C-alpha cells in the first residue's frame, strides 16, 4: 500500500533540545562514557572500510564469535533450495491442485516499493502471515500466499521531476530491492504469482473494471473542487497540502472546481454498511467504516424562496435535517457558499458581500470549515423563505459551516437546539426560539439544548400542525407524515460517504480508457479489446503550469481517432488514483497470468474470499472501503462469487524505535533527576546509553547514581531521529530466523512494541541453544558435526508429556495468532530437553516441525540432518495426543483439624488409603499425625484431604 509506512501514531515530542553546553564539557562527559555515540553503531559488516582488509577480517572473526549458530551458511542454502525447487508454488486448478482439500488464502497488504527499502515494520505482518501459511500447508490446506507491488504513486513521480529518472526505472529498481530483501527473510510466497500494478498486463484489468463501472453508470464526470496551487501550477493531492499551503515550497493552495472522474460509491453505501456485520474484523475497524459511511436518518424539507414581502420567487430550497421535530424553531436558513441557487437567491444589495464571502470560503479546506473551534462566519443573501410549519418569513444566509457536498448543501437553522446554529445566531443577532424542553425541565439558556425532550412552542393554526407535548421522536414522525401529505418534503436517509474522486492530474498512474471527440467533445470509451491503453513514454514530468496533467505533453498519444466513428479525438489526460490498483489485486493473485479474463471463475470460486488479510491500520478506512465497493460491483456482475473480499482482517501493531534514555543537567553540569521539582525545560538533555541505565521499581535511573531518574521513551522510527533499524543489518548480524522470531516474540501481533537489540540477542541465543541441543557442541575449529546427536531410543513418558504439551500450546497459539506465547512454549521445551540424557529422534523431529513456521531455515537444516532429504514444508504438523496432556499427578492440600498444614504430590488414581499413607509419611505432616488417633478422614479426590484427630487420644 502506498502509505504502508506513514504511521499515523502521534507520539509526544521530546523537550526541545537546549543549546549545547560548551564543547569541552561535552567532551568531558563523553570521556566519562555518558554521552551516547552520535549515531547507532553500524553493524559489524558495514563498519569495515572497503580497503581495510585486516579490520574486515577482525570484524568477521568477531561476528563469528557472536553468532550462536551458522545461520549465515544455513539460510542462503535453504533459500536457494526453495527457489530451485519452487517449493511454495501453488499449482493451478487443472494443473495438479487437489481441490478436494480445504483452501486458505493468506494475504499481506502488498507494499509500495519505496526507495528506502524494507523497514522492520514490514516483516512484522509478513512473518505472521508466513507462519500461518506454513502452518496451514502442514495442516493439509492448499495455501495461496502471494506477493506483489502497489507501484504507481507520487514518490516515483516526484523523484522523476527532481532527477529526470523515469518512474518506471525507479520502480523497477525498488521492486528488485524489495524482492531481494523479502527473499532474504525466507517468506514462503509463491513468486510465480508476483504482480505489479504498473504492468500493462495488470492495469489492462484495472481499466477494464473502469469500463464496467462506466457502463453501469457508476463512473461519471463532475466539477469538483481540487487543491490548486497557483505558484506551483499544479493540482496537489490532499497529502501534499499541509495547513493550507503546499508541502513543497509552502505556497498557498486554493480550492478550485475542475472536471473530474467520480465513482458512485454512495450507491453501495447501505450494502457496505450492512455486510460489515458478518465480517471477522476488529470491531474498531468496522466502527471506523461505519462512521465513514455515516448513515443518518431524517427528512428532506422543502422551503420556498420569497422576497421581503413574502412574494414567491419561484425557487425551492431543499434542506436536510436529522431533527424534523424542531421545525418550529427554524428561524433562518443557511446555504453553502457553493450552493447552485446562491447566485439567484442573492439580492443586488447583497451581491458584492456574498461574492467576496464566496471567494474567501473557496480558500478554506472542509476540515477548517467544519472545525467546531473556529468562529462561524456568514453573510445575508438578501432573500427569505417561508417556514412551512409556522408560515413565518425567515432570512436565508450563506455560511461556510454548511458544506455543499453534504445532504442538500442547505440547512434549516435551529439555534435553540444546534450549537453551530446557536453560535451563529448569537453573533448575527438572529432569533432563537426554544421548541424542545428537557425531560427534567432544566437547561443552560446560554447554550443550545441538543438532546431529545418534550416539544413546546410547536403548533400553528395556519398550517394545522400541532406537536406540542409530544416526545421528540414521536414529533419527528408526526412532522414527516405532515410534510409528506402536504408536499413539503419526505423522509430521507443520508450518508457522510461521498462519491469517490477518481482522478489525479499526474503521470504515474493508470490512463483512463476514454477519449473525447474533437468536434462535439463527447466522451467515448475505448472498446475492451483495445485494452490495455498503455502509458506513453514521457521525458518531462514537470507540471504544465496550467493545471492540465503532464500527460497533455504526450501530444502524439493524446491525439487519436475514435475507431467507432473514425473521428479525431483527444485522450483523457488525467490518470487513476493510487487506490485503483490495490482495489482488486487480491483477485488477480488467483489467476495472475490470464490474458483473456480478469480471473477465471473456477479459480475464484475455489480461492475466494481472502481468508486472512494482514496489514496496517492506516488502511482501515479508504483502501478497505474502496476494495469492498469494487468487489460488490464485480459480485453484481457475476465476476466474483462472494459478497465480501476479506473474511478476516488483522492489523499488526507499530514497531517503535529502541527506548531512548534522557538525563538532565543544570547549567553547572549537575544532574537533575527527571522527577525533580525544578523545571527540566531549563536543563541540558543528554542521551544515556542503555548499559549506563538500570531499572528501579517502574522507573529508570543512572546505574552509577540511582538518585538520578531518567526519562525513558520510545519514538516512531525515523531517519531524522537516527533510530531506524534496517532489516538487512539485522539479517547479516543475527540471521533471518532471529529477525522473524524476534518480531513475533516482541509482543502480541496487534500491539505497538519497542525494538530492543537485547531482545534480538535473546532469541538468537535461543536458536543457538536449539541448534546445539540437536547437532551438538561446536568442534574445536568452530565447525559442527554432520548429522545430529539424537538417538533411536524410545522416548520416556516424561519426554512425551513435555513434547505434547508443547505441541498443544503451539498449535493453539498459532490458531489464535498469539505467536509470542507459542515461542515461549518452544523455549520451555528446549529448557526441559537440555535436562534429558538423550534426545530421542522422534521427539526431536516433532519439535523441529513445530519450530519450522517460525524459524524455517534452521528447521529445514535440522530436518535434513535428521535424515529427510525432502523439505519439511508439506510434512504433517504434529498432533497433540490427549493421553500425554493429562497430568497424572496433582498437588493435594492436606488439612488437619480444619487447618491447612501442607501439600502432598499424589497420583490422580490414588485411593484414599494411599493418599493418607503419603500424608502420614510426609516429613512436615507426620509430626501432626504421628501417634494421634484419627476420628475421621474426609477425602475429596483431586481437591483435599482433611483429617480430624481424636482429641481425647491426642491429650494422652
The three three-digit cell numbers of residue 20, written as one number: 549545547
Min dist. Cβ of residue 407 to ligand ANZ (A): 3
Q: Which of 321, 383, 578, 839 binds ligand ANZ (CB under 6 A)?
A: 321
Distance of CA 162 to the CA centre of its chain: 31
Those residues with Cβ within 8 angstroms of residue 951's Cβ, 6 or more apart along the chain or in another chain: 935
Verify binding: residue 300, ligand ANZ, rule CB under 6 A.
Answer: no
Min dist. Cβ of residue 449 to ligand ANZ (A): 8
Verify binding: residue 892, ligand ANZ, rule CB under 6 A.
Answer: no
- Residue 496 vs 605, nearer CB to ligand ANZ: 496
Min dist. Cβ of residue 418 to ligand ANZ (A): 4
Verify binding: residue 417, ligand ANZ, rule CB under 6 A.
Answer: yes
Min dist. Cβ of residue 490 to ligand ANZ (A): 15
In angstroms, the CA 761 to CA 777 distance is 19
Verify binding: residue 403, ligand ANZ, rule CB under 6 A.
Answer: yes
Q: Which of 150, 418, 591, 743 binds ligand ANZ (CB under 6 A)?
A: 418
Verify binding: residue 323, ligand ANZ, rule CB under 6 A.
Answer: yes
Q: Judge whether 601 and 640 are in contact, CB under 8 Å.
A: no
Verify binding: residue 473, ligand ANZ, rule CB under 6 A.
Answer: no
- Residue 296 vs 678, nearer CB to ligand ANZ: 296
- Phi/psi for 343 (5° steps) reads -60, -45
- Residue 409 vs 549, nearer CB to ligand ANZ: 409
CB 78: neighbour CB atoms within 10 A? 21
The three three-digit cell numbers of residue 379, written as one number: 453573510
- Residue 301 vs 708, nearer CB to ligand ANZ: 301
- Residue 64 vs 493, nearer CB to ligand ANZ: 493
- Residue 97 vs 470, nearer CB to ligand ANZ: 470
How wide is the angle at C-alpha 777 spanned by C-alphas 774 and 783, nearest 5°? 105
The three three-digit cell numbers of residue 43, written as one number: 553493524
Min dist. Cβ of residue 811 to ligand ANZ (A): 48
Helix crossing, 622-637 with 200-215: angle to 10°? Answer: 70
For residue 791, what are the CA distances in angstroms to 788, 827, 831, 836, 859? 9, 21, 18, 12, 18
Verify binding: residue 320, ligand ANZ, rule CB under 6 A.
Answer: yes
Radius of gyration over alpha carbons of the chain, in Å? Answer: 36
Verify binding: residue 406, ligand ANZ, rule CB under 6 A.
Answer: yes
In angstroms, the CA 906 to CA 920 distance is 13
Min dist. Cβ of residue 301 to ligand ANZ (A): 9
For residue 918, what are the CA distances in angstroms to 449, 899, 903, 910, 911? 75, 18, 10, 10, 11
Size of site (CB under 6 A) for ligand ANZ: 19
DSSP result, 112-130: P--TT---TTHHHHHHHHH
Q: Which of 121, 409, 511, 577 binds ligand ANZ (CB under 6 A)?
A: 409
**With CB under 6 A as the contact rule, which of the stretches 404-412, 582-590, 685-693, 790-798 interacts with ligand ANZ?**
404-412
Min dist. Cβ of residue 520 to ligand ANZ (A): 35
- Residue 246 vs 494, nearer CB to ligand ANZ: 494
Q: Judge whether 113 and 177 are in contact, CB under 8 Å.
A: yes
Sign of CA dihedral 805, 808, 814, 818: negative
E strand intervals along 741-800: 753-754
**With CB under 6 A as the contact rule, which of the stretches 255-263, 319-327, 476-484, 814-822 interacts with ligand ANZ?**
319-327
**With CB under 6 A as the contact rule, which of the stretches 315-323, 575-583, 671-679, 728-736 interacts with ligand ANZ?**
315-323
Verify binding: residue 407, ligand ANZ, rule CB under 6 A.
Answer: yes
User: Looking up cell 522507573, which residue turns up?
Assistant: 699
Q: Which of residues 190-209 bind ligand ANZ (CB under 6 A)?
A: none
Q: Which of residues 39-78 bind ligand ANZ (CB under 6 A)?
A: none
Verify binding: residue 414, ligand ANZ, rule CB under 6 A.
Answer: yes
The three three-digit cell numbers of residue 70, written as one number: 551458522
Interface pattern 433-462 for ligand ANZ (x via CB under 6 A): -----------------x------------
Helix crossing, 856-865 with 841-851: angle to 10°? Answer: 160
Verify binding: residue 266, ligand ANZ, rule CB under 6 A.
Answer: no
**With CB under 6 A as the contact rule, which of the stretches 193-201, 314-322, 668-676, 814-822 interacts with ligand ANZ?**
314-322
In angstroms, the CA 576 to CA 109 distance is 20
Q: How far apart are the first and last CA of the chain?
A: 86
Among 182, 186, 169, 183, CA closest to 131: 186
- Residue 427 vs 908, nearer CB to ligand ANZ: 427
Verify binding: residue 387, ligand ANZ, rule CB under 6 A.
Answer: no
Verify binding: residue 412, ligand ANZ, rule CB under 6 A.
Answer: yes
Map residue 709 onto helix, strand or coil: strand
Task: Provide the greatest CA pair distance for the chain.
Answer: 124
Distance of CA 927 to the CA centre of its chain: 64
Q: Which of residues 330-349 bind ligand ANZ (CB under 6 A)?
A: 336
Q: Which of 402, 432, 433, 741 binds ligand ANZ (CB under 6 A)?
A: 402
Verify binding: residue 755, ligand ANZ, rule CB under 6 A.
Answer: no
DSSP-based helix, strand, coil % in the chain, nearest 5: 35, 20, 40
- Residue 333 vs 551, nearer CB to ligand ANZ: 333
In angstroms, the CA 512 to CA 548 distance is 15
- Residue 463 vs 842, nearer CB to ligand ANZ: 463
Q: What is the 3 state secondary structure string of 369-432? A: HHCCCCCCCEEEEEEEEECCCCCCEEEEEEECCCCCCCCCCEEEECCCCCHHHHHHHHHHCCCC
- Residue 437 vs 895, nearer CB to ligand ANZ: 437
Verify binding: residue 495, ligand ANZ, rule CB under 6 A.
Answer: no
- Residue 432 vs 862, nearer CB to ligand ANZ: 432
Which residues, listed in sequence order, are joined to residue 305 by a DSSP beta bridge?
A: 385
Min dist. Cβ of residue 312 to ligand ANZ (A): 23
Q: Which of 296, 559, 783, 791 binds ligand ANZ (CB under 6 A)?
A: 296
Q: Which of 221, 322, 642, 685 binds ligand ANZ (CB under 6 A)?
A: 322
Min dist. Cβ of residue 683 to ligand ANZ (A): 48
- Residue 326 vs 726, nearer CB to ligand ANZ: 326
Among 942, 936, 938, 807, CA closest to 876: 807
Report the interface residues with ligand ANZ, using CB under 6 A: 296, 320-323, 326, 336, 402-403, 406-407, 409, 411-412, 414, 417-418, 450, 494
Amino acid at each position: 500500500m502506498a502509505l504502508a509506512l506513514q504511521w499515523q501514531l502521534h507520539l509526544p515530542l521530546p523537550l526541545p533540545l537546549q543549546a549545547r553546553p560548551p564543547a569541552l564539557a561535552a567532551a568531558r562527559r563523553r570521556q566519562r562514557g555518558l554521552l551516547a555515540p552520535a549515531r547507532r553503531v553500524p553493524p559489524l559488516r558495514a563498519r569495515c572500510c572497503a580497503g581495510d582488509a585486516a579490520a574486515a577480517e577482525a570484524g568477521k572473526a568477531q561476528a563469528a564469535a557472536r553468532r550462536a549458530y551458522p545461520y549465515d551458511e544455513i539460510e542462503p542454502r535453504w533459500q536457494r533450495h526453495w527457489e530451485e525447487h519452487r517449493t511454495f508454488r501453488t499449482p493451478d486448478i487443472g494443473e495438479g491442485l487437489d481441490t478436494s482439500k480445504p483452501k486458505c488464502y493468506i494475504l499481506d497488504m502488498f507494499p509500495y516499493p519505496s526507495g528506502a527499502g524494507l523497514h522492520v515494520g514490514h516483516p512484522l505482518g509478513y512473518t505472521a502471515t508466513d507462519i500461518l501459511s506454513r502452518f496451514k500447508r502442514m495442516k493439509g490446506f492448499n495455501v495461496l500466499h502471494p506477493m506483489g507491488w502497489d507501484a504507481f504513486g507520487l514518490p516515483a513521480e516526484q523523484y522523476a521531476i527532481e532527477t529526470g529518472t523515469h518512474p518506471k526505472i525507479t520502480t523497477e529498481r525498488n521492486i528488485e530491492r524489495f524482492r531481494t530483501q523479502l527473499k532474504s527473510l525466507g517468506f514462503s510466497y509463491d513468486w510465480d504469482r508476483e504482480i505489479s500494478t504498473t504492468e500493462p498486463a495488470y492495469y489492462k484489468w484495472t481499466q477494464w473494471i473502469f469500463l464496467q463501472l462506466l457502463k453501469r453508470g457508476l463512473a461519471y464526470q463532475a466539477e469538483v473542487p481540487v487543491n490548486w496551487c497557483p505558484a506551483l501550477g499544479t493540482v496537489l493531492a490532499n497529502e501534499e497540502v499541509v495547513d493550507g499551503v503546499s508541502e513543497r515550497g509552502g505556497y498557498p493552495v486554493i480550492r478550485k472546481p475542475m472536471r473530474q472522474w467520480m465513482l458512485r460509491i454512495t450507491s453501495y453505501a447501505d450494502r457496505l454498511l450492512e455486510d460489515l456485520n458478518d465480517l471477522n474484523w476488529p470491531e474498531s475497524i468496522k466502527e471506523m467504516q461505519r462512521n465513514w459511511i455515516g448513515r443518518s436518518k431524517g427528512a428532506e424539507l422543502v422551503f420556498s424562496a420569497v422576497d421581503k414581502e413574502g412574494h414567491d420567487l419561484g425557487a425551492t430550497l431543499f434542506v436536510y435535517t436529522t431533527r424534523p421535530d424542531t421545525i418550529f424553531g427554524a428561524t433562518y436558513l443557511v446555504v453553502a457558499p457553493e450552493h447552485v441557487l446562491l447566485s439567484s437567491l442573492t439580492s443586488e444589495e447583497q451581491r458584492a458581500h456574498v461574492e467576496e464571502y464566496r471567494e474567501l470560503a473557496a480558500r478554506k479546506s472542509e476540515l477548517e470549515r467544519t472545525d467546531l473551534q473556529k468562529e462561524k462566519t456568514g453573510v445575508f443573501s438578501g432573500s427569505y423563505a417561508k417556514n412551512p410549519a409556522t408560515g413565518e418569513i425567515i432570512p436565508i444566509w450563506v455560511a461556510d459551516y454548511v458544506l455543499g457536498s453534504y445532504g442538500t448543501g442547505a440547512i434549516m437553522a435551529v439555534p435553540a437546539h444546534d450549537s453551530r446554529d446557536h453560535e451563529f445566531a448569537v453573533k448575527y443577532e438572529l432569533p432563537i426560539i426554544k421548541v424542545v424542553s428537557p425531560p427534567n425541565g432544566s437547561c443552560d439558556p446560554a447554550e443550545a439544548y441538543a438532546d431529545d425532550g418534550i416539544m413546546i412552542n410547536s403548533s400553528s393554526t395556519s398550517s394545522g400542525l400541532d406537536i406540542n407535548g409530544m416526545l421528540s421522536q414521536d414529533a419527528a414522525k408526526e412532522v414527516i407524515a405532515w410534510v409528506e401529505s402536504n408536499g413539503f418534503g419526505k423522509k430521507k436517509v443520508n450518508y457522510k460517504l461521498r462519491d469517490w474522486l477518481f482522478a489525479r492530474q499526474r503521470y504515474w498512474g493508470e490512463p483512463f480508457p476514454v477519449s473525447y471527440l474533437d468536434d462535439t467533445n463527447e466522451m467515448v470509451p475505448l472498446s475492451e479489446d483495445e485494452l490495455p491503453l498503455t502509458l506513453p513514454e514521457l521525458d518531462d514530468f514537470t507540471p504544465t503550469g496550467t493545471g492540465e496533467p503532464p500527460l497533455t505533453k504526450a501530444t502524439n498519444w493524446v491525439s487519436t481517432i475514435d475507431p467507432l466513428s473514425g473521428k479525431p479525438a483527444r485522450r483523457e489526460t488525467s490518470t487513476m488514483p493510487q487506490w485503483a490498483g490495490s482495489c482488486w489485486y487480491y483477485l488477480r493473485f488467483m489467476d495472475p497470468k490470464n490474458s483473456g479474463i480478469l480471473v477465471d471463475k473456477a479459480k475464484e470460486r475455489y480461492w475466494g474470499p481472502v481468508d486472512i488479510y494482514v496489514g496496517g491500520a492506516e488502511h482501515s478506512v479508504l483502501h478497505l472501503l474502496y476494495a469492498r465497493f469494487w468487489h460488490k460491483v464485480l459480485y453484481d456482475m457475476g465476476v466474483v462469487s462472494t459478497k465480501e473480499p476479506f473474511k478476516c482482517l488483522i492489523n499488526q501493531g507499530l514497531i517503535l524505535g529502541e527506548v531512548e534514555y534522557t538525563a538532565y543537567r543544570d547549567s553547572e553540569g549537575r544532574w537533575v533527576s527527571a522527577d525533580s521539582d525544578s523545571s527540566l525545560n531549563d536543563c541540558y538533555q543528554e542521551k544515556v546509553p542503555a548499559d549506563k541505565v538500570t531499572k528501579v521499581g517502574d522507573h529508570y535511573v543512572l546505574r552509577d547514581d540511582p538518585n538520578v531518574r531518567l526519562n525513558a521513551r520510545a519514538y516512531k522510527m525515523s531517519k531524522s531521529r537516527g533510530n531506524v533499524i534496517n532489516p538487512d543489518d539485522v539479517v547479516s548480524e543475527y540471521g533471518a530466523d532471529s529477525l522473524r522470531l524476534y518480531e513475533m516474540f516482541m509482543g502480541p501481533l496487534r500491539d505497538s512494541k519497542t525494538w530492543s537489540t537485547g531482545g534480538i540477542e535473546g532469541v538468537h541465543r535461543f536458536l543457538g541453544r536449539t541448534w546445539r541441543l540437536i547437532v551438538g557442541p561446536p568442534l574445536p575449529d568452530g565447525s559442527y558435526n554432520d548429522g545430529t546427536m539424537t538417538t533411536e531410543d524410545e522416548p520416556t513418558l516424561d519426554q512425551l508429556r513435555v513434547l505434547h504439551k508443547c505441541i498443544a500450546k503451539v498449535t493453539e497459539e498459532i490458531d489464535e495468532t498469539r505467536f509470542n506465547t507459542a515461542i515461549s512454549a518452544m523455549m520451555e521445551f528446549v529448557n526441559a530437553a537440555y535436562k534429558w540424557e538423550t534426545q530421542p529422534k522422534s521427539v526431536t523431529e516433532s519439535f523441529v516441525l513445530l519450530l519450522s513456521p517460525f524459524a524455517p531455515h534452521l528447521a529445514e537444516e535440522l530436518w535434513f540432518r535428521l535424515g529427510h532429504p525432502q523439505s519439511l514444508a508439506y510434512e504433517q504438523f504434529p498432533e497433540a495426543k490427549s493421553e500425554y496432556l493429562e497430568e497424572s499427578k496433582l498437588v493435594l492440600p492436606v488439612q488437619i483439624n480444619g487447618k491447612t498444614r501442607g501439600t502432598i504430590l499424589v497420583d490422580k488414581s490414588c485411593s484414599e488409603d494411599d493418599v493418607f499413607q503419603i500424608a502420614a509419611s510426609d516429613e512436615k505432616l507426620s509430626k501432626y499425625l504421628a501417634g494421634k488417633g484419627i476420628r475421621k478422614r474426609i477425602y475429596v479426590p483431586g481437591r483435599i484431604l482433611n483429617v480430624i484427630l481424636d482429641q481425647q487420644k491426642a491429650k494422652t
